[in-house]
């Protein structure tokens, strides 16, 4: 019997299709009571991971459990977890109601439940229509109705807003939030962080089949720090002055200084007071979307991602938070490029970020 | 499990396929029963024999041998159709383990196979009644025996179809292979085999085995009804001609045909189960 926790646990999950590693040693936990976003570019292994969690694809290694059990061991799984997946469809000649009643029978839930979920997703008037004539949006709603049919504790959705109109997307967001607010679990995948920004509380970001961030969205957001890049005639003197005023300063390889949590005006004023000439100043901001892009853009560049992950034992970047932040894995061990601190800055920010448990002892150098 | 079986029945009866494939069964069986018994030469045989002949039994055998293909196609789409329409994901998400889903389908489709079998036997019998009258059926025990064998053959073909569909999952491939095998491949195979040293193996091919379930009952019953006490003196050729048209193999017991075809059915069901258990649904 499952433990009823509503928790999804993914441990060391890997899947290779022939020579292609779709998912590599993935670890994360999805807790009930909140909406967890599962983010990554197309082809990053999201769908494969969700299908492994749901027992549709057999992992090459590792396990995924729902309520403490692998999917295959859940009895009457439709009442534990509901799922809306891509490439999941209906017989075109069957009406929406008959489709739902068929699966209501499979789950041993009353037939009235079929009409209730149809009303819930706004398809009440289309109940007796054959699904072959449904629009993409209607199909998506019917898929959600099917997922909700067994009144499950856990909801897994793969790119659910595909095909939905803006109104439908807004409705879905509200629905997922209220579903999670009842103490149930929602795991929803997307390739757009912006789309999920207002829905999710927690994010798992994958790239190239590996987890690159697992933590609170608020903490990720706090990584949107600004810094000032400055070229000074006498860097040493300026650093002293800046540090005296409580700023964290980093030396960039090109000889410039990066001043965290500052702006050009403050730095200029301090430089003037210290009597240091400035040749070049630049304000730098990183927004959430950019952050997401940077976290995941290693995927198509062929080589290693430009940032290196600090090992699990810490080694926080110089401007990292006291807590050390989370440790990203090194996406690839081979051919690692020299680390660029401005990228490392993206990593250092979250104050209490979840440290991704890095299983590989050899997980790369420090930033 | 009861819920899963109920779900399969609902899936079957909420789309048109079950009756769309049942219509040709009814039409073909009726036609075979009527035309087969009303055939002129049979009347002459009756006159020559000086009594009525149970030709209705032969045509039930013949109609069964042809209409089983529709049951097989219907069965094949049980799993392959779900792959085609991508509803297999939902089916596996709501039924655990996958073997239970296949088991539920086998139970539900056994009932549909019985329905197809009943429609076939009844249609062929009504056709036979029109063509030959009540005399065309011999004694009622014989009719029940042949009809029962017809039901059995139909159910087994349905189940073989379910297993085969689960094995290949591609509905187009499943349908084409079944039809091609039944009407072309086995014919070529048996012609080749008949000219070889292992000609006796022909009776063990799937199509011949299934035809033999009914044919190896109906033909001997017919012969014994025709020949009466002189049955031992009936020429082998007479049997062989009748078997050629109405199914079965001379000297091959019907139960051996049944066991053989049961083996094929079990092999496909087992294969379908083993493969679908581990298959990745992407």
Of A76, A94, A108, which has the smallest distance from its Cβ to B14's Cβ? A94
Of A82, A91, A106, which has the smallest distance from its Cβ to B4's Cβ? A106
**Chain A contact set for B90 (CB, 8 A):** 88, 90, 103, 146
CB count in 10 Å sphere of residue B183 = 12
Beta-carbon contacts of B141 under 8 Å, excluding residues fewer than 6 positions away, are: none
A-B contacts at Cβ under 8 angstroms? 91
Residues facing residue A15 across a β-bridge: A23
Residue B8 distance to chain A (closest CA, Å): 7
DSSP letters spanning B53-115: --HHHHHHHHHHHHHHHHHHHHHHHHHHHHHHTT-HHHHHHHSSSHHHHHHHHHHHHHHHHHH
Instruction: Decide if B41 touches A, using CB distance below 8 A.
Output: no
How would residue B43 be classed by pLDDT, with cut points 50, 70 and 90? low
Distances (CA, A) of A177 to A64, A67, A200, B126: 24, 20, 8, 64
b/e B227-246 (16+ beta carbons within 10 angstroms → b) = eeeeeeeeeeeebeebbeeb
Among A217-231, A350-364, B92-106, B261-275, where is mean pLDDT lowest?
Answer: A350-364
**Chain B contact set for A150 (CB, 8 A):** 94
Chain A residues with CB under 8 Å of a chain B CB are 48, 51, 54-58, 71-78, 81-83, 85, 87-95, 98-99, 101-103, 105-108, 146, 150
Distances (CA, A) of B100 to A74, B3, B74, B78, B166: 13, 11, 20, 14, 13
Of A55, A87, A98, which has the smallest distance from its Cβ to B14's Cβ? A98
**Chain B contact set for A88 (CB, 8 A):** 86-87, 89-90
Write down the pLDDT at residue A70.
Answer: 95
Per residue in B166-218, pLDDT (tens digit) is 999 999 999 999 999 999 999 999 889 888 888 888 889 999 999 999 999 98
- The first and second tokens of residue A45, run together, are 């292994």
**Strand order through the sheet with A226-232:** A249-251, A257-260, A226-232, A278-285
DSSP assigned state of B279: -
Write down the pLDDT at residue A191.
Answer: 86
Residue A116 distance to chain B (closest CA, Å): 18
Q: With CB atoms and an 8 Å threshold, state whether A106 touches B94.
A: yes
**Chain A contact set for B89 (CB, 8 A):** 56, 85, 87-88
Of A54, A85, A105, which has the smallest distance from its Cβ to B10's Cβ? A105
b/e A155-191 (16+ beta carbons within 10 angstroms → b) = bbbbbbbebbeeebbeebbebbbebbeeebbbbbbbb
**Chain A contact set for B19 (CB, 8 A):** none
3-state SS, residue B234? coil
Q: With CB atoms and an 8 Å threshold, state whether B93 touches A78.
A: yes
Distance, in Å, from the CA atom of A313 to the CA atom of A316, rounded to the nearest integer, reads 9
Of B4, B81, B282, which has the smallest distance from its Cβ to A51's Cβ? B282
Q: With CB atoms and an 8 Å threshold, state whether B3 touches A107.
A: yes
Instruction: Decide if B107 touches A, using CB distance below 8 A.
Output: no
Average pLDDT, chain B: 89
Write down the pLDDT at residue A360.
Answer: 41
| Domains of chain B by residue range | 2-271
**Chain B contact set for A99 (CB, 8 A):** 14
Identify the closest residue of chain A to B85 by CA–CA distance.
A91
Of A88, A105, A146, which has the smallest distance from its Cβ to B6's Cβ? A105
Instruction: Decide if B170 touches A, using CB distance below 8 A.
Output: no
Interface mutation vs chain A, best among B8, B90, B91, B101, most A CBs within 10 Å: B90
**Contact by Cβ (8 Å): B116, B71:** yes
Residue A302 distance to chain B (closest CA, Å): 26
User: What domains, with CATH codes, occur in chain A?
Assistant: 8-219 (3.40.50.300), 226-285 (3.30.70.100), 301-348 (no CATH)
What is the pLDDT averaged over residues B37-58?
A: 69
Helix/strand/coil (H/E/C) assignment for every residue in chain A: CCCCCCCEEEEEEEEEECCEEEEEEEEEEECCCCEEEEECCCCCCHHHHHHHHCCCCCCCEEEEEECCECHHHCCCHHHCEEEECCCCCCCCCCEHHHHHHHHHHHHCCCCHHHHHHHHHCCCHHHCCCEHHHCCHHHHHHHHHHHHHCCCCCEEEEECCCCCCCHHHHHHHHHHHHHHHHCCCEEEEEECCHHHHCCCCCEEEEEECCEEEEEEEHHHHHCCCCEEEEEEECCHHHHHHHHHHCCCCEEECCCCCEEEECCCHHHHHHHHHHHCCCEEEEEEEECCHHHHHHHHHHHHHCCCCCCCCCCCCCCCCCCCCCCCCCCCCCCCCCCCCCCCCHHHHHHHHCCCCCCCCCCCCCCCCCCC
Which H or E element spans position B156? helix B140-168
Write down the pLDDT at residue B159.
Answer: 98
Q: With CB atoms and an 8 Å threshold, state whether A102 touches B86.
A: no
Q: With CB atoms and an 8 Å threshold, state whether B86 touches A89.
A: yes
Q: With CB atoms and an 8 Å threshold, state whether B10 touches A89.
A: no
Q: Is B135 exposed, middle or buried (0-12, 13-18, 19+ CB in 10 A)?
A: middle
Residue B93 distance to chain A (closest CA, Å): 6
Residue carrying the six token digits 């040493």: A236
Q: What is the pTM of this model?
A: 0.80
Write down the pLDDT at residue A363.
Answer: 38
Write down the pLDDT at residue A309.
Answer: 35
Residue ranges of chain A with per-residue pLDDT less than 50: 299-367
Write down the pLDDT at residue B40.
Answer: 53
Identify the closest residue of chain B to A111 by CA–CA distance.
B7
> Which of these, A144, A194, A192, A171, lies nearest to A39 by C-alpha position?
A192
- ipTM associated with this complex: 0.90
Write down the pLDDT at residue A312.
Answer: 34
Q: With CB atoms and an 8 Å threshold, state whether B85 touches A105.
A: no
**Chain A contact set for B3 (CB, 8 A):** 105-108
């Amino acid at each position: 019997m499952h433990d009823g926790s509503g928790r999804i646990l993914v441990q060391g999950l890997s899947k290779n299709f022939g020579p292609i590693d779709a998912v590599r040693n993935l670890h994360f936990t999805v807790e009930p009571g909140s909406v967890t976003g599962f983010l990554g570019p197309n082809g990053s292994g999201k769908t494969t991971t969700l299908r492994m969690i749901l027992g549709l694809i057999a992992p090459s290694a590792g396990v995924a459990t729902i309520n403490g059990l692998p999917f295959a061991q859940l009895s009457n799984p439709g009442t534990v977890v509901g799922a809306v997946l891509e490439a999941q469809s209906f017989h075109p000649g069957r009406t929406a109601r008959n489709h739902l009643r068929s699966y209501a029978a499979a789950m041993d839930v009353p037939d009235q439940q079929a009409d209730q979920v149809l009303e819930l997703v706004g398809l009440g008037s289309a109940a007796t229509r054959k699904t072959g004539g449904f629009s993409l949006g209607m199909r998506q709603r019917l898929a959600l109705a099917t997922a909700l049919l067994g009144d499950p504790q856990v909801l897994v959705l793969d790119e659910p807003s595909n095909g939905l109109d803006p109104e439908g997307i807004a409705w879905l967001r509200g629905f997922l939030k209220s579903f999670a607010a009842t103490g149930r679990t929602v795991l929803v995948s997307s390739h757009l962080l912006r789309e999920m920004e207002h829905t999710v509380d927690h994010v798992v970001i994958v790239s190239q089949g590996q987890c690159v961030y697992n933590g609170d969205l608020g903490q990720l957001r706090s990584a949107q720090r600004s810094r000032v890049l400055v070229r000074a005639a006498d860097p040493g003197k300026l650093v002293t002055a800046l540090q005296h005023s409580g700023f964290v300063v980093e030396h960039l390889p090109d000889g410039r200084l990066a001043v965290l949590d500052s702006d050009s005006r403050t730095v200029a004023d301090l430089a003037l007071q210290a009597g240091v000439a400035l040749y070049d100043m630049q304000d730098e901001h990183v927004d959430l979307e950019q952050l997401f892009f940077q976290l995941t853009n290693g995927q198509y560049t062929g080589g290693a991602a430009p940032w290196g992950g600090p090992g699990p034992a810490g080694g926080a970047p110089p401007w990292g938070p006291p807590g050390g932040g989370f440790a990203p894995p090194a996406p690839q061990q081979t051919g690692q490029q020299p680390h660029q601190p401005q990228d490392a800055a993206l990593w250092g920010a979250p104050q209490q970020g979840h440290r991704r448990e890095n299983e590989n002892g050899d997980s790369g150098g420090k930033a | 499990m009861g819920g899963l079986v109920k779900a399969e029945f609902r899936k079957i009866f909420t789309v048109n396929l079950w009756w769309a494939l049942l219509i040709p069964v009814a039409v073909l069986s009726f036609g075979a029963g009527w035309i087969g018994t009303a055939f002129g030469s049979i009347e002459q045989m009756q006159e020559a024999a000086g009594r009525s002949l149970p030709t209705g039994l032969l045509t039930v055998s013949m109609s069964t041998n042809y209409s089983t293909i529709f049951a097989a196609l219907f069965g094949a789409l049980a799993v392959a159709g779900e792959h085609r329409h991508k509803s297999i994901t939902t089916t596996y998400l709501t039924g655990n383990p996958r073997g239970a889903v296949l088991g539920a389908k086998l139970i539900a489709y056994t009932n549909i196979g019985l329905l197809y079998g009943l429609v076939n036997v009844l249609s062929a019998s009504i056709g036979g009644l029109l063509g030959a009258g009540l005399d065309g059926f011999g004694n009622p025990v014989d009719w029940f025996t042949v009809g029962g064998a017809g039901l059995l053959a139909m159910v087994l073909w349905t189940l073989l179809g379910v297993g085969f569909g689960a094995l290949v999952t591609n509905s187009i491939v499943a349908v084409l292979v079944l039809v091609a095998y039944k009407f072309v491949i086995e014919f070529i195979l048996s012609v080749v085999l008949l000219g070889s040293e292992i000609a006796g193996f022909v009776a063990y091919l799937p199509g011949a085995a299934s035809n033999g379930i009914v044919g190896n009952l109906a033909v001997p019953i017919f012969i014994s009804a025709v020949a009466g006490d002189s049955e031992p003196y009936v020429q082998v050729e007479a049997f062989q001609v009748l078997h050629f048209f109405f199914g079965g193999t001379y000297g091959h017991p019907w139960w051996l045909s049944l066991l053989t075809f049961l083996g094929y059915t079990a092999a496909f069901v087992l294969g379908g189960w083993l493969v679908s258990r581990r298959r990745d649904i992407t």
